[in-house]
C-alpha cells in the first residue's frame, strides 16, 4: 500500500482557493525582545534539511531557537508564518504563483522574475524573502529504467507517446494531479491525457514514496512524480523525463521570515545568504541522498555540511 507524507508543494485547487481567501493577511508585528525564533519546515526531505540548516545557523548566532520542523503541508506552514505562530521557514519561489493566484503568468518560469515577484508581493504581507538557492526543484516525472530503455523514453514528448499507448501508470501527489501548474501543464504542453484509472494519487508530496513505487513496480506503477533535486533517482534506476517545452514553473528554495523578526535580528540575512548561495542542484541532490538513500538524520546531514564548508557564523 502506498502512503505518503505532506510534501514540498502540496497545493490542491481547493487549498489554493482557501489560501486566496486569506491572501490579504499581514504578519502581525508581535515579535518581542528575548522571545525565541520559531523555525519551521514542511514535512518533506528537503524541507527537513534546509529547515535544520536555518535553525543551526541561527543558533550559532546565539539566537534563541524553537524548532517546529516537519510542521505540515504548505497551507498550514504558510498560514502559521502569516499568523505569527512561526518566524521563518524554507519556501519555494514557484509557490508564489499559487499564493498570488497567478499560476498561468509566464513570470513564474523565470528564476529572477519569480523571486522578485513573490518577494515584492509578500513584503506587503509583512514577510521577507532572503537569498534563494540556485537550484530548480521543479516537478518532473521519472520512469522505471527498464521501461524507459525498452521504449526509448527520455523526454516528456516520449512520455506522452507512451501514455497514448497505454504503457504508463503514475504515482503522484494529489497536488501534482490537480494543480494547473503540474500534471495538467504537462498534458497541455505535450498533448496527452493520463486517465485517472492510470494514476495512484497520494495525499502527501513525499517523492521518496512515488519514486520507489516507480522503481519497484508497486501496485503496477512504472512512473512517479519527482523533484529536480531528489537524491534517490540514480540509486533507484529511474530515468527523468526532460521538459524541453518548459512546461513547469521554477521552484528555488529560500528562507522566508517575518519582517518583525528580521528587524530584530538583521544579522540573519547575511548569515543565511552564505549558506543558500552554495546550495546548487548537485549539492542538494547529494545531501538529500544522504537522508533518503543512506538513512542519515537531516539534522546530522545539515550539521556536517555546514561545518565542513565553514558556513556556520
Show which of 219, 240, 261 is a domain's final residue.
Answer: 240
Given a cut of 70, whether residue 73 has pLDDT beyond it is yes
Q: Are residues 68 and 23 in the same domain?
A: yes
Within-domain flag for 259: yes
In a domain, 96, yes or no: yes
Q: What is the CATH number of the domain that holds 94?
A: 3.40.190.10
pLDDT at 204: 73
Which neighbouring-strand residues pair with 40? 68
In a domain, 1, yes or no: no
Same-domain pairing of 275 and 298: yes
**What is the predicted pLDDT for the residue at 28?**
61
Same domain, 146 and 236: yes
Determine the pLDDT at residue 29.
Answer: 56
My answer on whether 132 and 21 are in the same domain is: yes
**Residues above pLDDT 90, as percent of the chain:** 78
**Is residue 29 located within the same domain as residue 122?**
yes
Query: Between the CA of residue 181 and those of 104, 105, 109, 266, what are the distances in Å?
Result: 7, 10, 11, 35
Other CB atoms within 10 Å distance of the CB of residue 30: 12
- pLDDT band at 9; cut points 50, 70, 90: low
Is 258 inside a domain boundary?
A: yes
Q: Looking at 191, 219, 240, which one is the last position of a domain? A: 240
Which residues span the domain enclosing 219? 139-240
Statement to judge: residues 19 and 119 lie in one domain: yes
Q: What is the pLDDT of residue 17?
A: 46
**Are 284 and 227 in a shared domain?**
no
> What is the model's pLDDT at position 21?
47
- The answer as to whether 165 is a domain residue is yes
SS3 per residue for 28-53: CCCCCCCCCEEEEEECCHHHHHHHHH
Residues 191 and 266 placed together within one structural domain of the fold:
no
Q: Which of 36-50, 60-74, 203-217 has the weakest average pLDDT?
A: 203-217
Residue 32: the pLDDT is 61
Least confident of 126-130, 140-144, 166-170, 201-205: 201-205
Clarify whether residues 127 and 200 are in a common domain.
no
Angle, helices 268-276/45-60, rounded to nearest 10 degrees: 140
Q: Is the pLDDT of residue 30 over 80?
A: no
Last residue of a domain, one of 192, 207, 240: 240
Q: Are residues 128 and 263 in the same domain?
A: yes
Per-residue pLDDT of 230-272, as tens digits, reads 988 878 999 999 999 989 999 999 999 999 999 999 999 999 9
Is 8 contained in some domain? no
The reply to whether 214 and 303 lie within a common domain is: no
Number of domains forming the structure of the chain: 2
What is the mean pLDDT of the segment spanning 276-287?
A: 95
Work out the number of other CB atoms within 10 angstroms of the CB of residue 106: 10
Residue 125 lies in a domain: yes
Higher pLDDT, 131 or 34: 131
CATH of the domain at 186: 3.40.190.120
| 5 lies in some domain | no
Q: Indicate if 207 and 221 belong to the same structural domain.
A: yes
pLDDT higher than 50, residue 13: no
Amino acid at each position: 500500500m502506498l502512503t505518503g507524507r505532506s510534501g514540498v508543494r502540496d497545493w490542491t485547487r481547493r487549498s489554493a482557493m482557501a489560501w486566496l481567501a486569506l491572501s490579504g493577511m499581514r504578519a502581525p508585528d508581535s515579535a518581542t525582545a528575548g522571545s525565541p525564533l520559531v523555525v519551521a519546515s514542511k514535512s518533506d526531505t528537503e524541507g527537513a534539511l534546509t529547515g535544520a540548516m536555518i535553525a543551526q545557523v541561527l543558533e550559532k548566532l546565539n539566537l534563541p531557537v524553537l524548532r517546529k520542523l516537519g510542521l505540515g503541508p504548505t497551507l498550514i506552514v504558510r498560514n502559521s508564518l502569516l499568523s505569527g505562530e512561526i518566524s521563518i521557514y524554507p519556501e519555494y519561489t514557484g509557490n508564489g504563483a499559487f499564493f498570488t493566484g497567478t499560476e498561468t503568468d509566464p513570470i513564474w518560469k523565470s528564476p529572477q522574475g519569480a523571486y522578485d515577484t513573490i518577494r515584492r508581493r509578500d513584503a506587503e504581507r509583512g514577510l521577507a524573502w532572503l537569498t534563494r538557492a540556485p537550484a530548480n526543484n521543479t516537478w518532473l516525472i521519472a520512469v522505471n529504467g527498464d521501461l524507459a530503455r525498452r521504449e526509448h523514453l527520455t523526454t516528456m514528448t516520449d512520455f506522452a507517446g507512451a501514455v497514448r499507448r497505454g504503457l504508463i501508470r503514475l504515482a503522484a501527489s494529489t497536488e501534482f494531479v490537480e494543480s494547473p501548474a503540474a500534471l495538467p501543464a504537462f498534458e497541455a504542453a505535450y498533448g496527452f491525457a493520463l486517465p485517472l484509472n492510470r494514476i495512484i494519487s497520494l495525499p502527501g508530496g513525499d517523492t521518496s514514496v512515488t519514486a520507489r513505487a516507480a522503481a519497484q513496480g508497486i501496485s503496477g506503477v512504472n512512473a512517479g512524480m519527482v523533484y529536480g533535486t531528489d537524491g534517490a533517482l540514480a540509486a533507484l534506476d529511474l530515468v527523468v523525463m526532460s521538459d524541453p517545452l518548459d512546461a513547469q514553473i521554477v521552484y528555488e528554495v529560500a528562507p522566508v521570515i517575518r519582517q518583525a523578526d528580521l528587524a530584530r535580528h538583521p544579522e540573519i540575512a547575511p548569515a543565511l545568504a552564505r549558506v543558500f548561495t552554495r546550495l546548487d542542484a548537485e549539492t542538494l541532490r547529494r545531501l538529500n541522498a544522504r537522508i533518503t538513500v543512506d538513512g542519515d538524520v537531516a539534522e546530522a546531514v545539515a550539521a556536517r555540511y555546514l561545518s565542513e564548508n565553514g558556513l556556520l557564523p
